[in-house]
Amino acid sequence: MKYSFRTIAAGVMLAAMICCIAPSMTSCKNANATSSEKAQAVAVRTSSDSLDTPQAAQDGSIPQGARILMEVYPTFVKGYKDGRLLMSDGSTIVYDDGRKKSFVELLDDADPEDMFAFKYDLDSWTPGKMQDAGRSRCEELFKKMYGNSAKAVSSKLVAVRWPFGAATNKGGVNKNIKTVKFTTVNGANKQLEKVVAELEKHPELHKYLAQSGAFYWRPVRGAKRQSAHSYGMTIDIGVKYSDYWRNQSTNENANIAYRNKYPHEIVEIFEKHGFIWGGRWYHYDTMHFEYRPEILKASGR
């Protein structure tokens, strides 16, 4: 297989293998704001009481995944009622469509509940069979948050300092590219800044950190869904050291042998700030890091 991806900082196009699906978890910022968010959630439920049943105001009636989404994406997910997420723009999203889905359907046609169907296992560095936590994304939710077009997503991007350079298409590193465009939505740019600050303290890791692009509005190769790179909260790094499942097979149902050449220290720093790693997927994509605090939260972080 091959993936092509583009680096962006200078509009440079690189050809490389890439990835593009990504997962991950926990926003420390949000995790620390638990009490105020609870208060907010309660307030929301109260305000909707006129339309509501008394039961809906009970915490027990809110699925765990919906509660996590309210906690980590408080700007957008304001409440839950009658099986729907209540969004800040007044719209709603069906939380669980009730359909039984195949593995591929869980990726291509996910409702919010499906995003929690897989285990992001922080206790093992070898992903469980067919466990791809984070590859499943409810597009309706992500487009509402990050933007529903290249233009809409682009309008929320800012330059984040990335002092480790960008990969060139000849396998080298362009040190003159010192920023990467990342979204301000959900504070993802701020979380990436924290990742950078920690990575800077580890010179031994810097050779793995040349970036190969973040924002790129496009579908996942061979699939109907948008790549996580479409939303501006995903970055690929260290392509030179990357491994990608599609180099073994393009069939999602095939047996895939796990491979990884990335130091786990890098992964732990990203995860600490709410990013999941594609190397924790059975269908691994080790260059891929994606801001997905809900996945980390669900993993117990």
CA-based R_g, the chain, Å: 19
Going by the DSSP 8-state scheme, the letter that residue 117 receives in this structure is S
CB-CB contact of 167 with 206 (8 Å):
no
* Comparison of 113 and 271: residue with beta carbon closer to Zn ion: 271
Query: What six digits make up the tokens of 288?
Result: 């891929």
Q: CB 21 → Zn ion: shortest distance, Å?
A: 7
- Closest of 18, 299, 27 to residue 185, by C-alpha: 27
Residue nearest to Zn ion (CB): 288
* Comparison of 19 and 266: residue with beta carbon closer to Zn ion: 19
Q: CB 267 → Zn ion: shortest distance, Å?
A: 14
Residue for token pair 């095939």: 254
CB-CB contact of 293 with 25 (8 Å):
yes
Query: What are the residues binding Zn ion (CB under 5 A)?
Result: 19-20, 236, 288
What's the CA dihedral at 200, 187, 266, 301 to 10 degrees? 130
Q: CB 235 → Zn ion: shortest distance, Å?
A: 7
Amino acid letter, 78: K
* Comparison of 44 and 214: residue with beta carbon closer to Zn ion: 214
Q: CB 287 → Zn ion: shortest distance, Å?
A: 6
* Comparison of 143 and 218: residue with beta carbon closer to Zn ion: 218
CA 236/CA 210 separation, integer angstroms = 9
Q: CB 51 → Zn ion: shortest distance, Å?
A: 41
* Comparison of 82 and 139: residue with beta carbon closer to Zn ion: 139
Amino acid letter, 4: S
Q: CB 197 → Zn ion: shortest distance, Å?
A: 22
Q: CB 232 → Zn ion: shortest distance, Å?
A: 12
Greatest alpha-carbon span in the chain = 62
CA 283/CA 45 separation, integer angstroms = 39
* Comparison of 80 and 291: residue with beta carbon closer to Zn ion: 291
Cβ-proximal residues to 63 (8 Å cutoff; 6+ apart), any chain = 80, 95, 96, 113
* Comparison of 111 and 243: residue with beta carbon closer to Zn ion: 243
What are residue 276's DSSP bridge partners? Answer: 290
Amino acid letter, 99: R
